[in-house]
C-alpha cells in the first residue's frame, strides 16, 4: 500500500541523462548555440574561399573548400540531433560528415607544399620529387579516408561485435592518417630548413615586399594549418581509443576544443593568407644557378607582386 507502482510515476518527473540513454549515440544533447556558431563560421570561411577561387584562380584549393562545405553540412545535422537525439540515421550522417571532411583539408595542404616549392624554384630541397611526393600523400589521404569511412559505417551496426570491429578499423584509419600528417610535417620542416640554410637569396627575396607578397608568410600559414590538423588528429585518436562511451566521446566541450577549434584555425588561416596571393607563377632562381647573388637579390626585389596569374593555376 505504501509503495508506489511504476505506472504512477509521471514520465516528465524522471530526470533524463543523455549519457545513460542507449539510443543517444552522441552521449549528450547538442547545443544549438555552439552548433550555430560553428556552422556559421565554417560556411563563412567556405564562401570567402569560394570567392577567391572563382575570381582569383587557385583552383587546386578546391579540395579544401569542398571539405569545408561538407564539414558545414555535418554541423547542420547537429541541429537535427538536438531535437532528435535518438535518431540513428541523423547521427550517422552527422558523424561521417564531420569526421571525414578533414581529409579534404589535409589533401589541400599536401598539394600546397609542392606549389610553394615550385614557386620559389626549390623543389630539389623536397625529400622526394614534388609530383611523386604529392601523389604519395594524396593517395595515403584517400586510403585513410576509405578506411575511416568503412570503419565508421560499421560502428553503427546494432550488433556489438560488428560495431566493435568497425571501431577498431576506424581507429586504424585515424592512426594511419595521424602518421601520414606527422611524416608530412617532418618533410615540410626539412624543406624549410634546407631553403633557409642553403638558399639565402631565395629565403630573403621578399624581405622588402608587403607581408602578402612574402612567400614565407604563406609558408608560416601552412605550418599553422598543419598544427591545427595534428591537434585534431591526436584528439580523434584519443577519443576513439577510449571506446564507445569514453569521457571524450560524451563531452561536447572536448569535441569543440579538440576537433572544431583546431580545424577552424587550420582553414581560416587561408582567408587572410590565401595561397593565390603568393603563388604567382614566377620562378626565383636557385642560388646554385646564379653567378652573382647580389645581382639575383636586386633582380628579385624589383619583381612586382602579382596577385593573379591564371596560367599558374
User: What pLDDT is attached to residue 79?
Assistant: 95
User: What pLDDT is attached to residue 291?
Assistant: 41
**Any alpha helices (H) in 101-159, and if so which ranges?**
102-119, 130-154
Angle of the 102-119 helix axis to the 130-154 helix axis, nearest 10: 180
User: What pLDDT is attached to residue 235?
Assistant: 96
Instruction: Convert 272-311 to b/e letters by CB count within 10 Å (16 or more is b).
Output: ebbbbbbbbeeebbbbeeeeeeeebbeebeeeeeeeeeee
Whether 254 contacts 248, CB under 8 Å: yes
Distances (CA, A) of 220 to 104, 189, 301: 20, 11, 21
> Quick one: which H or E segment has residue 227?
helix 215-241
Q: How many residues does the chain have?
A: 313
User: What pLDDT is attached to residue 10?
Assistant: 53
Question: Three-state DSSP class for 299?
Answer: helix
User: What pLDDT is attached to residue 85?
Assistant: 86
Residues 6 or more apart whose Cβ sits within 8 Å of residue 157 = 163, 166
Q: pLDDT per residue over 77-113, tens digit each?
A: 999 999 988 888 898 899 999 999 999 999 999 999 9
Q: Which residues of the chain have pLDDT under 70?
A: 1-24, 281-313
d(CA 25, CA 156) in angstroms, rounded, equals 9
Whether 29 contacts 82, CB under 8 Å: yes
* 118 CB neighbour count, 10 Å cutoff: 17
* 231 CB neighbour count, 10 Å cutoff: 18
Question: Three-state DSSP class for 34?
Answer: helix
Q: Rounded to the nearest 5 degrees, what angle is found at the Cα of 153, between the Cα atoms of 256 and 238?
A: 40
Cell representation of residue 13:
518527473
Q: pLDDT per residue over 135-186, tens digit each?
A: 999 999 999 999 999 998 888 787 888 889 999 999 999 999 999 999 999 9
User: What pLDDT is attached to residue 293?
Assistant: 41
Amino acid at each position: 500500500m505504501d509503495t508506489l507502482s511504476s505506472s504512477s510515476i509521471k514520465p516528465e518527473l524522471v530526470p533524463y541523462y543523455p549519457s545513460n540513454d542507449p539510443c543517444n549515440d552522441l552521449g549528450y544533447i547538442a547545443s544549438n548555440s555552439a552548433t550555430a556558431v560553428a556552422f556559421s563560421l565554417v560556411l563563412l570561411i567556405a564562401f570567402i574561399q569560394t570567392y577567391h577561387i572563382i575570381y582569383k584562380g587557385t583552383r587546386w584549393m578546391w579540395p579544401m573548400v569542398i571539405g569545408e562545405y561538407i564539414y558545414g553540412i555535418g554541423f547542420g545535422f547537429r541541429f537535427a540531433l538536438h531535437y532528435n537525439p535518438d535518431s540513428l540515421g541523423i547521427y550517422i550522417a552527422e558523424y561521417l560528415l564531420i569526421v571525414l571532411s578533414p581529409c579534404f583539408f589535409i589533401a589541400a595542404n599536401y598539394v600546397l607544399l609542392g606549389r610553394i616549392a615550385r614557386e620559389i624554384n626549390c623543389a630539389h630541397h623536397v625529400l622526394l620529387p614534388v609530383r611523386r611526393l604529392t601523389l604519395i600523400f594524396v593517395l595515403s589521404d584517400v586510403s585513410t579516408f576509405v578506411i575511416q569511412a568503412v570503419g565508421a559505417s560499421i560502428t553503427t551496426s546494432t550488433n556489438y561485435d560488428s560495431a566493435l570491429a568497425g571501431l577498431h578499423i576506424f581507429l586504424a584509419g585515424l592512426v594511419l592518417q595521424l602518421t601520414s600528417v606527422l611524416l608530412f610535417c617532418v618533410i615540410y620542416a626539412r624543406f624549410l630548413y634546407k631553403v633557409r640554410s642553403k638558399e639565402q637569396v631565395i629565403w630573403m627575396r621578399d624581405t622588402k615586399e608587403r607581408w602578402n607578397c612574402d612567400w614565407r608568410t604563406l609558408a608560416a600559414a601552412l605550418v599553422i594549418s598543419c598544427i591545427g590538423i595534428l591537434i585534431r588528429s591526436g584528439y580523434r585518436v584519443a577519443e576513439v581509443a577510449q571506446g564507445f562511451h569514453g569521457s571524450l566521446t560524451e563531452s561536447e566541450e572536448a569535441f569543440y576544443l579538440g576537433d572544431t577549434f583546431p580545424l577552424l584555425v587550420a582553414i581560416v588561416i587561408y582567408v587572410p593568407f590565401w595561397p593565390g596571393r603568393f603563388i604567382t607563377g614566377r620562378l626565383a632562381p636557385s642560388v646554385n644557378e646564379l653567378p652573382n647573388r647580389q645581382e639575383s637579390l636586386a633582380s628579385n626585389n624589383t619583381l612586382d607582386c602579382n596577385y593573379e596569374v591564371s596560367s599558374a593555376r
